[in-house]
């Protein structure tokens, strides 16, 4: 019997988890757990590329992990762990940094975007974090990486890094593929649908967070920006309406074309009400489970210790192979 493919996907604990993170990423992780060998790190070291609050950081990380679980990630079947608990991520990232031309990193769209957003803190980590991301993936020899559309470029970089390493030293790493869902891959901001919904967005009206109260979620959706045409159809010239249709399609698993049929002749109010109801129906049970899981932080920490042990074991195997391939003196004992 062949081994199931290794799947890895993670999220940085910055800001607040959004509907975009759920529909574009986490929801797709849940369905793969029976089929793939799944690793779901909380990529906490990525979050320190921007200024963070050390007093509240550990609790925020626990919130994120609790949300993973509340969304349906099962820590028995999958390996749920914290990136910083497995130092091999940084060791491999260093080796990859030595094999990644700086120009390639400068070209990354997210680097350009983040350099603009954090103009006073354009640090080396902001530029090199896609290399750490490549290490996160390749350390476990993951071949499936379910992500939203925004991560496609980073996956290409990961493949380039793996390919370069293999060509120089021998075939160590399989090439991973980005698995981008047909629906929900790019959920846009509610108040500014020209940009993606982003968990570190400081404008609350732009995002639906997984921990927003249901009434607040409904209010934000009902106030979302549309247009003056009053016709419900998916169309690049109608980003607000298209976004609402995408959200509804992803939340209810109904195709865009049938939604357009169903809403023919109806106004934006009807669409917004239905989107709000569907999103609340999706998020409310997650919130209930979250409260339950979060009420027992000791269990959460034990679960992460178990995840660390399982992840470390797999990581150590890859690192031995990498060190040997690079000609380093083997670590004995
Ligand atoms: N709007 C989105 N629609 C669909 N998928 C999305 N993802 C992110 N935003 C959307 C997917 O969620 C996973 C985590 O990505 P991320 O950590 O880059 O999340 P973010 O919300 O995009 O984060 P920010 O605001 O850019 O904050 P930083 O970078 O500071 O953490 C990925 O699979 C992503 O594709």
Closest residue by Cα to atom 34, ligand 1, is 148
pLDDT at position 33 is 96
- Residue 181 is predicted with a pLDDT of 81
The model carries a pTM of 0.94
- Each residue's pLDDT, cut to its tens digit, for the chain (333 residues) gives 688 999 999 999 999 999 999 998 899 999 999 999 999 999 999 999 988 899 999 999 999 999 999 999 999 999 999 999 999 999 999 999 999 999 999 999 988 988 998 888 899 999 999 999 999 999 999 999 998 888 899 999 999 999 999 999 999 999 999 998 877 789 999 999 999 999 999 999 999 999 999 999 999 999 999 999 989 999 999 999 999 999 999 999 999 999 999 999 999 999 999 999 999 999 999 999 999 999 999 999 999 999 999 999 999 999 999 999 999 998 887
- Counting from 1 in the atom list of ligand 1, the atom nearest the Cα of 197 is 1
Atom of ligand 1 lying closest to residue 18 CA: 21
Which residues form the pocket of ligand 1, taking CB atoms under 6 Å from any ligand atom?
11-12, 14-15, 18, 20-21, 23-25, 50, 147-148, 150-151, 184-187, 196-200
Tell me, in angstroms, the distance from the centre of ligand 1 to residue 323's CA: 32
Q: Which residue of 7, 12, 21, 178 sits with most ligand 1 atoms within 8 Å of its CB, as the best mutation to test the pocket?
A: 21
What atom of ligand 1 comes closest to residue 149's alpha carbon?
Answer: 35
For ligand 1, atom 26, the nearest C-alpha belongs to 198
Report which protein residue has its CA nearest ligand 1's atom 35: 148
Ligand 1, atom nearest to 184 Cα? 4
**Predicted local confidence at residue 47, as pLDDT:** 94
Can you give the three-state secondary structure of the chain, one letter per residue? CCCCCEEECCECCCCCCEHHHHHHHHHHHHHHCCCCEEEEEECHHHHCCCCCCHHHHHHHHHHHHHHHHHCCCCCCCCEEEEHHHCCHHHHHHHHHHCCCCHHHHHCCHHHHHHHHHCHHHCCHHHHHHHHHHHHHHHCCCCCEEECCHHHHHHHHHHHHHHHHHHHHHCCCCCCCEEECCCCCCCCECCCCCCCECCCCCCCHHHCCECCCCHHHHHHHHHCCCCCCCCCCCCCCCCHHHHHHHHHHHHHHCCCHHHHHHHCCCCCHHHHHHHHHHHHHHHHHHHHHHHHHHHCCHHHHHHHHHHHHHHHHHHHHHHHHHHHHHHCCCCCCC
> Quick one: pLDDT at residue 149?
84
Write down the pLDDT at residue 281: 98
pLDDT score for 3: 87
What is the CA(167)–ligand 1 centre distance, in A?
Answer: 31
- Mind listing the domains of the chain with CATH numbers? 6-184+297-326 (3.40.50.620), 204-292 (1.10.240.10)
CA of 22 to the centre of ligand 1 (A): 9
Which residues lie across from 8 on neighbouring strands?
A: 39
Residue nearest to atom 12 of ligand 1 (CA): 21
Residue of 199, 200, 207, 249 best suited for mutating to test ligand 1, as the one with most atoms within 8 Å of CB: 199
Residues recognised as catalytic:
114, 196, 199
- In the reported structure, the alpha carbon of residue 108 is separated from the centroid of ligand 1 by a whole-number distance in angstroms of 15
């Amino acid at each position: 019997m062949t081994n199931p493919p290794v799947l890895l996907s993670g999220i940085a604990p910055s800001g607040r988890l959004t509907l975009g993170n759920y529909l574009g990423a986490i929801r797709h992780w849940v369905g793969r757990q029976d089929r793939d060998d799944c690793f779901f790190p909380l990529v906490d070291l990525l979050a320190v590329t921007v200024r963070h609050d050390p007093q509240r950081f550990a609790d925020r990380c626990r919130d994120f992990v609790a949300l993973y679980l509340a969304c349906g990630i099962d820590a028995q079947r999958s390996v749920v762990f914290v990136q910083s608990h497995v130092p091999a991520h940084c060791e491999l990232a260093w080796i990859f940094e030595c094999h990644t031309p700086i120009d390639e990193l400068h070209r990354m769209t997210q680097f350009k975007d983040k350099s603009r957003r954090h103009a006073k803190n354009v640090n080396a980590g902001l530029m090199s974090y896609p290399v750490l991301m490549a290490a996160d993936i390749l350390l476990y020899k993951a071949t499936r990486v379910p992500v939203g559309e925004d991560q496609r470029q980073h996956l290409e970089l990961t493949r380039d890094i793996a390919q370069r390493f293999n060509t120089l030293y021998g075939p160590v790493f399989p090439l991973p593929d980005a698995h981008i869902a047909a629906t929900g891959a790019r959920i846009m901001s509610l108040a500014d649908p020209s940009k993606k919904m982003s968990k570190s967005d400081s404008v609350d009206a732009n995002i639906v967070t997984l921990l927003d109260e249901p009434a607040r979620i409904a209010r934000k959706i009902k106030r979302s920006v549309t247009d003056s045409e009053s016709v419900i159809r998916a169309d690049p010239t109608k980003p607000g309406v298209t976004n609402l249709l995408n959200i509804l399609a992803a939340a209810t698993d109904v195709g865009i074309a049938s939604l357009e049929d169903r809403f023919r002749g109806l106004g934006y109010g009807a669409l917004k009400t239905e989107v709000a109801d569907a999103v609340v129906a999706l998020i409310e049970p997650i919130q209930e489970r979250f409260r339950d899981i979060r009420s027992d932080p000791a269990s959460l920490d034990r679960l992460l210790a178990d995840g660390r042990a399982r992840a470390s074991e797999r990581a150590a195997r890859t690192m031995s192979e990498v060190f040997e391939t690079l000609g380093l003196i083997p670590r004995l004992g």
